[in-house]
């Protein structure tokens, strides 16, 4: 019989005899209920007896008196390592080596080994996240430097370089919290994480709030008025006031509820967390901070939503609205994970938080800063294309502006009337959609139906022509867009969509400007209101989403058109009626008290032309073929 079977039998009988002894000493009901009095000890339970393995007796500690042997059972083989006689005080060793689980002779630790529930500087998770964060910081810094070097460009001036720098600094601070949460935290690192994150977020949200407030104040005007109080200096004071509120909350939090690193042990994982000494005060101040920043985010979202259709450069309000919505969504997704304090989930919680911060910053960077730098690069590329096209004026191929399936006649043709329809003017020009990024120049045919009051824009291909037709009274046009290449006009259609049209000569451009001015509203960024500091953050208008141009815009454009027309050769009269009636200029009616009104549009214009004569504009009833 195996030795373990004999010992197991004697162990079972020792327990049975002990239960019987307690039942006789107390009562069976007491044993069944296990309601033993405090006077009962182990000696009352143990009873010596003669067992199968020999006489079973106990010492004062309750251990059996007898010879003990330590046996290795490894690889199906039993080896006695040493013995301890019953009456001896020293063990007797044998030639066999002591082996533990796995065959090792090293004494294992009696404490289980924990997994690290936090990233370290040398862990794979920490290295990957830190590398991504460092790349994002470099991208933000380099983009801000690029914008600073091009701060005199119209696009950068429009977006206010000081606020772009403030937003970039906020992004860098938010990203740096990832490095502060690596490895075992200290008291200083715990406080630095909270302060860096909060200050970074306040820098971004306050700058965005100031820009959104300025756009809303400019567009939400019932009449033209001075907007000197919206200069950068006053807006920076507003940003400082918003940040001061959050700084006061953080100071109170740091004084009344300081945080300390605390080790959190799980069944298999060890982690650290920054816990406040006074959890109640910390919870109250945290709720106040979240409510305050949530109110700021809500304010930004509301103002951006109200001005989302206001036509400003790069559609700034729409981008701010998308950013605010994304930040809110990230906060909603991240909030539940912050309340899971189990050590086994600590590393996953850190990874989710770090990647969420990285994603939110990358999204906000793309919509608030990155697209501006990208727009400058695209504009520079378009300028280079313009220079190359001007060099191909005599017989160029037009490959830079055609789309691969367009015709091969060069991409340009001057304005000319259709045969048999002198009131319809047409021409072929490069057109680019400027209200979206990454849009190339594509050859289109423009057709002005003066009597019908429509403008057609069709894409020229080798097979067919497809495009859009717009009612002239629904269009606005900028005769001299500041951000476009030379010899361009910009047409704004309903829905805040703008097209940039490029001409080959000044005469051809002026022909279209004079024709469009009769039917369309004049709109220009150059004539928009400016703050007293000279910043041009947004174009002015009569109200949010209002298509009516400002008085300054109309006067500036009318003066430009008049000066340009004066330099052009006068078109010869065609027909007796045309000689008797001078060519009228576009009329604009407005009142200073009630703000700009819709221009008074004359009768439909008719294009007078001859193959050997310049193009002119006159009244429909004054047209005659002549001799």
Residues 494 and 607 grouped into a single domain: yes
Residues 373 and 425 grouped into a single domain: no
Residues 364 and 430 grouped into a single domain: no
pLDDT at 357 over 60: yes
Question: 466 is written with which tokens?
Answer: 């497809």
Strand partners, 567: none
Instruction: Look at residue 252 and tell me if it is in a domain.
Output: yes
pLDDT at 305 over 70: yes
Residues 329 and 253 grouped into a single domain: yes
> What sign results for the dihedral spanned by CA atoms 371, 377, 381, 386?
positive
Looking at 74, 92, 109, the residue that finishes a domain is 109
pLDDT at 71 over 50: yes
Instruction: Look at residue 403 and tell me if it is in a domain.
Output: no
Residues 91 and 138 grouped into a single domain: no
Residues 158 and 99 grouped into a single domain: no
pLDDT in tens, 427-464: 888 888 887 766 777 888 899 988 888 899 888 666 66
The continuous run of DSSP H or E covering 250 comes out as: helix 232-256
Residues 209 and 306 grouped into a single domain: yes
Backbone φ and ψ for 622, nearest 5 degrees, come out as -90, 0
Say if CB 550 and CB 596 are below 8 A apart: yes
Residues 137 and 254 grouped into a single domain: yes
Mean pLDDT computed over 163-186: 93
Instruction: Look at residue 224 and tell me if it is in a domain.
Output: yes
pLDDT in tens, 553-596: 444 444 455 455 444 444 343 333 333 344 443 433 333 333 34
Higher-confidence residue of 496 and 596: namely 496
Total domains, the chain:
3
pLDDT band at 316 (very low <50, low <70, confident <90, very high): confident
Instruction: Look at residue 462 and tell me if it is in a domain.
Output: yes
Residues 209 and 94 grouped into a single domain: no
Q: What is the CATH number of the domain that holds 132?
A: 1.20.1070.10
pLDDT in tens, 89-105: 677 777 778 888 777 88
Integer angstrom CA distances of residue 138 from 199, 200, 355? 20, 16, 17
Residue with tokens 């990358």: 362
- Among residues 84, 50, 79, 80, which one has the least CA distance to residue 66? 84
pLDDT at 333 over 60: yes
Looking at 57, 80, 109, the residue that finishes a domain is 109
Residues 35 and 104 grouped into a single domain: yes
Residues 6+ apart with CB under 8 A from 408: 397, 398, 402
Residues 60 and 123 grouped into a single domain: no
Max Cα distance, the chain (Å): 145
Instruction: Look at residue 317 and tell me if it is in a domain.
Output: yes
Instruction: Look at residue 329 and tell me if it is in a domain.
Output: yes
Give me the pLDDT at residue 547, please.
40
Strand partners, 263: 272
pTM exceeds 0.85, yes or no: no
Domain with 52 in it: 3-109
Instruction: Look at residue 564 and tell me if it is in a domain.
Output: no
- Among residues 333, 420, 422, which one has the least CA distance to residue 618? 422
Instruction: Look at residue 540 and tell me if it is in a domain.
Output: no
- Among residues 618, 609, 616, 623, which one has the least CA distance to residue 582? 618
Q: Burial letters for 55-65: b for 16+ Cβ neighbours within 10 Å, e otherwise? A: ebebeeeeebe
Mean pLDDT computed over 27-44: 89
Residues 48 and 82 grouped into a single domain: yes
Looking at 50, 75, 109, the residue that finishes a domain is 109
């Amino acid at each position: 019989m195996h030795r373990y079977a004999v010992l197991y039998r004697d162990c079972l009988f020792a327990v049975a005899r002990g239960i019987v002894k307690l039942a006789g000493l107390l009562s069976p009901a007491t044993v069944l209920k296990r309601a033993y009095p405090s006077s009962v000890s182990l000696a009352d339970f143990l009873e010596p007896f003669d067992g199968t393995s020999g006489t079973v007796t106990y010492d004062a500690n309750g251990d059996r008196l007898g010879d003990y042997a330590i046996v290795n059972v490894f690889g199906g083989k039993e080896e006695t390592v040493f013995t301890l006689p019953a009456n001896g005080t020293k063990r007797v060793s044998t030639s066999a080596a002591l082996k533990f689980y796995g065959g090792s002779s090293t004494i294992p630790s009696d404490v289980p080994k924990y997994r690290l529930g936090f990233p370290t500087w040398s862990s794979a998770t920490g290295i990957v996240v830190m590398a991504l964060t460092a790349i994002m910081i470099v991208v933000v810094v380099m983009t801000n430097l690029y914008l600073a070097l091009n701060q005199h460009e119209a696009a950068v001036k429009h977006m206010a370089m000081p606020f772009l720098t403030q937003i970039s600094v906020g992004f860098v601070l938010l990203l740096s919290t990832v490095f502060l949460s690596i490895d075992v935290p200290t008291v200083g690192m715990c406080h630095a994480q909270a302060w860096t994150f909060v200050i970074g977020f306040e820098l971004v949200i306050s700058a965005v709030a100031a820009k959104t407030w300025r756009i809303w104040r400019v567009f939400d005007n019932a009449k033209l008025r001075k907007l000197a109080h919206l200069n950068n200096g006053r807006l920076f004071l507003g940003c400082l006031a918003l940040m001061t509120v959050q700084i006061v909350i953080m100071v109170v939090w740091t004084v009344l509820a300081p945080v300390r690193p605390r080790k959190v042990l799980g069944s298999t994982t060890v982690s650290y967390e920054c816990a406040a000494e006074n959890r109640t005060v910390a919870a109250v101040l945290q709720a106040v901070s979240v409510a305050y920043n949530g109110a700021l985010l809500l304010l930004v979202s509301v103002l951006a939503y109200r001005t989302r259709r206001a036509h400003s450069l790069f559609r700034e309000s729409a981008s701010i609205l998308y950013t605010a919505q994304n930040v809110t969504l990230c906060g909603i997704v991240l909030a539940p994970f912050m309340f899971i304090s189990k050590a086994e989930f600590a590393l996953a919680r850190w990874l989710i938080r770090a990647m969420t911060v990285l994603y939110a910053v990358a999204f906000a960077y793309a919509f608030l800063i990155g697209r501006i730098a990208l727009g400058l690069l695209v504009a520079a590329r378009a300028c280079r294309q313009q220079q190359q096209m001007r060099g191909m004026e005599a017989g160029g191929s037009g490959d830079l502006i055609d789309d691969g399936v367009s015709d091969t006649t060069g991409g340009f043709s001057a304005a000319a009337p259709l045969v048999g329809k002198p009131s319809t003017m047409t021409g072929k020009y490069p057109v680019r959609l400027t209200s979206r990024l990454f849009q190339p120049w594509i050859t289109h045919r423009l057709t002005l139906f003066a009597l019908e009051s429509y403008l057609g824009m069709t894409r020229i291909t080798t097979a067919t022509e497809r495009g859009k037709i717009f009612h002239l009274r629904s269009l606005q046009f900028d005769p001299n867009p500041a951000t476009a290449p030379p010899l361009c006009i910009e047409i704004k259609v309903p829905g805040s969509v703008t097209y940039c049209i490029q001409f080959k000569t000044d005469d051809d451009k002026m022909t279209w400007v004079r024709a469009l001015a009769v039917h369309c509203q004049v709109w220009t960024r150059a004539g928009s209101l400016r703050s007293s500091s000279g910043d041009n953050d947004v174009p002015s208008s009569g109200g949010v989403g209002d298509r009516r141009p400002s008085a300054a815009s109309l006067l500036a454009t009318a003066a430009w058109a008049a000066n340009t027309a004066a330099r052009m050769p006068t078109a010869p009269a065609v027909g007796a009626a045309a000689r008797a009636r001078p060519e009228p200029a576009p009329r604009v009616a407005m009142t200073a008290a009630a703000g700009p009104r819709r221009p008074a549009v004359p009768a439909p214009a008719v294009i007078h032309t001859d193959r050997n004569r310049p193009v002119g504009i006159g009244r429909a009833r004054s047209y005659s073929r002549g001799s």
